[in-house]
Chains A and B, each alone.
Chain A
C-alpha cells in the first residue's frame, strides 16, 4: 500500500464529464485529483499507425463487446476519454429528447442548460467545419441526399485549424482537436489539479454513509493506494461508472440498468473514378432521417478494411479499389434495454474477469429502424452516383440498382446479421431522475443512499441523445457543477485556454 492522497474532490474519469467538473472545481480553488484508467498520450506522441492508436487509446484495444459478442462498444481509455477519439462532432441535445428526459424526471431547464452549452462550446471552440477541409465524398453525399429527397448538413466541430488528415478516430496527432486532453484537463492542471493516469478505481470508500474517496490500483505496478476526498465524482462513462458503483455495492438495484446506445454500422460505396476520400475531414456531412441519422465516415485504410464486408480475395480486391471507395454510417437511438453488470466470472475468477459485462439485444423496433436507415443510406449512395454499394449484411451482397435495396431489410433478422454492428455512444447505466425505484442518481446528480457521491457523465442520461453526445455530456457536467460545487460555473476566460494552446507543438508541423 502506498500512502493515501488527501484532497477535496476526487474525479474518476478524465473525459467529457470529468474534464469539465475537474476544471471548474479546480478553478474555484478546490484541491482536485483526477484518476484515469488509461494512459496519457499527448498529440505529439500519437503516431501514424492506426493499429497502435487503437491499441493504446481505445478501451480493451477496441475489443469491448456485449456478452453475445455481436456488438462492439467503443470507448476511449486514455486521458481525455472518448473525446480524444471523436470526429469532433458537436450537437446540442435535441429539444424533444430534452423534453423526454424531463418526462422521465430528469429536468434540464432550458435557460440554464443553454448557458451550459454556450459555456462549453466557447471553451472547446465549437464552430462550423471549415468547408476547405471537407473530403470529396462529402459533396457526393450532399448530391445523393438531394436526389434521395433529403438534405445533407455540415457539422459544428471542436477543431482549431483542422488540417484534414482524415484520421480523427485515432486521436489528433496534429493537436487540432480541442478535446478534453487539450482543453479541460490541462486547464484544470494549471489551476492545481493532479491528474493520475493508469490508475483504476476498485471501489468507492464509504464511511458512515458518506463517500470518502476511492480505493485505487496503479496499473503500472499493481500497487494500491487510497485517495481520500470530501466529495467524489464519478465520470467514468456509461460502462465504467455503473461498474464502479456495482463493485462498491452501491445502488445494486438500479446501477447498470437502463443502458441505451446510438447504434449503427457502416455502408461502403464504390464510385467509377478515384475520389480519394481520405483527403480531408473524415466526417463532413450528415443527413437526418425519420428517427435516425446518417453520417459520412471515411476511415483510413486499416479501419476501412475492418468494416468492409466480404472475405478473402474479394475483400482484398475491394480494398485495392480504396481510392474509389468511401463509407458512411447510420446512428439509430435505442431503447434503454441494455444492462451493465458484473458477471459470475468475476466472483469465481476475479483476476480474469475484473470488468463489467454489457448485455444488449437490439429491440425489434430499433432493428427495423436500423434496417430502414441502412437501406436509405444505400439509396443515397446510389443516387450520388455510386456504381455499387456494400451494405454491412452478414451475407455479403452488392447493391447496384435502387430496386435491389429492398433486399437489405430481409437479410437483417438480428444484430448478428449486421457486420461491424456496434456503438461508440453508450449512455445510461446510472440514470438520473425523480423515481427512486428506477434511477440511481437524483435530479441533482447525487447517488441515492450515499452522501457526497455524484455522477457527471453520460451514464445519467435517461434516454439516448439520438445525436453524438460529446457536447451534451460536457453541458450536463457543467450543470452538475452547480450541485457538486454549489456555484454557477463561470465562462472559461480566454487567458486559461490560450497559454495551453500556444504551448502545444503538434506533430508534423513545419514552421
Chain B
C-alpha cells in the first residue's frame, strides 16, 4: 500500500497535450502573430547575449523573483537573478529535459490569466505578489508544480558572492581560523596516510 496520491505530471502533460490539440485551429489562425513574436524574441535574445531564454522569459523571471523573494531590493537585482538562470540553463543544454524549464517559465507568464488577471509581465507588483501568495505558496497540483520555480529563483538569488558575504558566509580562501589547521589549502603532498606508508615517504 502506498501513500496518498495527489498529482501526476503524466496526467497533467496528457491533459495539456489534449488542450493544445483541441486548440489547433486557434494556433493556426494566430500563427502569423506568434511566429513573428517568437522570431523577434530570438533576435532580441541574440542581441542581449542570452544563452537559453528569450527576453520575455527573462522579464517573467525577474518579476517572479521580486514577488517570491519579497526582500524589497531594486530591479537590477532581479534582472541579475533572471540572467543567472539563463546562464544556468545553458550549462546543461544537452539534457533531454532542458526544454521543460523554459516552457514552465512561459506557463508562469500566462498563469495569472487563469485567475482573472493579466499576464505576469503586465500586472502590478502587488497583484503578482498576491497571485504568488494565493496560488503558488500553498497550492498543490499544477500550481504546486509551477511553484518549484522558487528553487531556481532562490538558487540564482543566493549564488551571489556579495550576498553570501552579507549573510556571513566566507569561502575557504577568506577564512582564518587558526584553531582548525592551516589556511588556505596546504599543498597536496601525499594522497593518504596508508599510501604514504606504502611509499615510505611524504612525497
Q: A305-B155, A502-B203 are in contact. Are A52 and B188 (CB under 8 A)?
A: no
1/0 per residue, CB under 8 A from A, across B84-128: the answer is 100111111011111111000000000000000000000000000
Interface pick from B31-39, B53-61, B163-171: B163-171
- Contact: A364 with B3, CB < 8 Å? yes
How many Å lie between the Cα of A127 and that of B156 in the bound state?
A: 36
Q: A60-B92, A305-B155, A509-B188 are in contact. Are A164 and B180 (CB under 8 A)?
A: yes
Contacting residues of chain A (35-81) with chain B, CB-CB under 8 angstroms:
48-52, 54-56, 58-61, 63-65, 67-70, 77
Contact partner, B188, options A133, A175, A305, A367, Cβ 8 Å: A175
- Contact: A313 with B92, CB < 8 Å? no
Residues on B with C-beta less than 8 A from A161 are 186, 188-190
**A162, closest chain B residue (CB):** B185
Contact partner, A51, options B69, B88, B188, B192, Cβ 8 Å: B88
- Contact: B191 with A497, CB < 8 Å? yes
Residues on B with C-beta less than 8 A from A454 are none
Tell whether A178 is near chain B: CB-to-CB under 8 Å.
yes
How many Å lie between the Cα of A132 and that of B180 in the bound state?
A: 6
Tell whether A122 is near chain B: CB-to-CB under 8 Å.
yes
- Contact: B167 with A301, CB < 8 Å? yes
Tell whether B64 is near chain A: CB-to-CB under 8 Å.
no
Residues on B with C-beta less than 8 A from A345 are 13
Residues on A with C-beta less than 8 A from B49 are none
- Contact: B94 with A198, CB < 8 Å? yes
Residues on A with C-beta less than 8 A from B185 are 163, 174, 506, 508-510
- Contact: B184 with A51, CB < 8 Å? no
Q: A305-B154, A305-B158, A311-B137 are in contact. Are A60 and B8 (CB under 8 A)?
A: no
Tell whether A490 is near chain B: CB-to-CB under 8 Å.
no
- Contact: A497 with B195, CB < 8 Å? yes
- Contact: A274 with B168, CB < 8 Å? yes
- Contact: B96 with A50, CB < 8 Å? no
- Contact: A501 with B191, CB < 8 Å? yes
**B142, closest chain A residue (CB):** A69
Q: A51-B84, A164-B180, A414-B4 are in contact. Are A68 and B9 (CB under 8 A)?
A: yes
Q: A497-B191, A508-B184 are in contact. Are A68 and B91 (CB under 8 A)?
A: no
* Residue in A54, A55, A178, A508 whose Cβ sees the most chain B Cβ within 10 Å: A55
- Contact: A364 with B2, CB < 8 Å? yes
Tell whether A283 is near chain B: CB-to-CB under 8 Å.
no
What is the interface of chain A mostly: helix, strand, loop, or mixed? loop
- Contact: B168 with A55, CB < 8 Å? no
Q: A69-B145, A161-B190 are in contact. Are A280 and B92 (CB under 8 A)?
A: no
Q: A51-B156, A61-B92, A415-B3 are in contact. Are A322 and B187 (CB under 8 A)?
A: no
How many Å lie between the Cα of A314 and that of B168 in the bound state?
A: 18
Tell whether A361 is near chain B: CB-to-CB under 8 Å.
yes
Residues on B with C-beta less than 8 A from A344 are 10, 14
Nearest CB in chain A: distance from B63 CB, A: 15
Contact partner, B88, options A61, A178, A337, Cβ 8 Å: A61
Q: A278-B169, A301-B158 are in contact. Are A67 and B9 (CB under 8 A)?
A: yes
How many Å lie between the Cα of A508 and that of B188 in the bound state?
A: 11
Nearest CB in chain B: distance from A317 CB, A: 9
Please give the number of chain A residues whose Cβ is less than 8 angstroms from any Cβ of chain B in the complex.
Answer: 87
Tell whether B19 is near chain A: CB-to-CB under 8 Å.
no
Residues on B with C-beta less than 8 A from A50 are 155, 159
Q: A127-B194, A313-B70, A506-B188 are in contact. Are A68 and B8 (CB under 8 A)?
A: yes
Q: A279-B175, A300-B169 are in contact. Are A60 and B188 (CB under 8 A)?
A: no
Interface pick from A231-239, A264-272, A350-358: A350-358
Tell whether A413 is near chain B: CB-to-CB under 8 Å.
yes
**B171, closest chain A residue (CB):** A48
Residues on B with C-beta less than 8 A from A127 are 192-194
- Contact: A353 with B96, CB < 8 Å? yes
**B192, closest chain A residue (CB):** A125
Contacting residues of chain A (338-385) with chain B, CB-CB under 8 angstroms:
343-345, 352-355, 357, 361-364, 367
Residues on A with C-beta less than 8 A from B171 are 48, 165
- Contact: B7 with A70, CB < 8 Å? yes
Nearest CB in chain B: distance from A179 CB, A: 13
Tell whether A5 is near chain B: CB-to-CB under 8 Å.
no
- Contact: B1 with A364, CB < 8 Å? yes
Interface residues of A (CB under 8 A from B): 48-52, 54-56, 58-61, 63-65, 67-70, 77, 122, 125, 127, 132-133, 160-161, 163-166, 174-176, 178, 198, 219-220, 274, 276, 278-280, 300-302, 304-306, 311-313, 315-316, 319-320, 322-323, 337, 343-345, 352-355, 357, 361-364, 367, 413-416, 494, 497-498, 501-502, 504, 506, 508-511
| 27 A-B pairs in the complex with CB atoms less than 8 angstroms apart | A51-B87, A51-B88, A51-B156, A52-B91, A55-B92, A56-B91, A56-B92, A63-B97, A67-B8, A161-B189, A165-B172, A176-B188, A300-B164, A302-B154, A302-B158, A304-B158, A316-B71, A319-B167, A323-B167, A323-B169, A362-B2, A364-B1, A413-B3, A415-B3, A501-B188, A508-B185, A510-B184
- Counting from the closest, the 7 A-B pairs by CB-CB distance are A55-B91, A125-B192, A312-B70, A323-B168, A51-B159, A361-B2, A165-B172
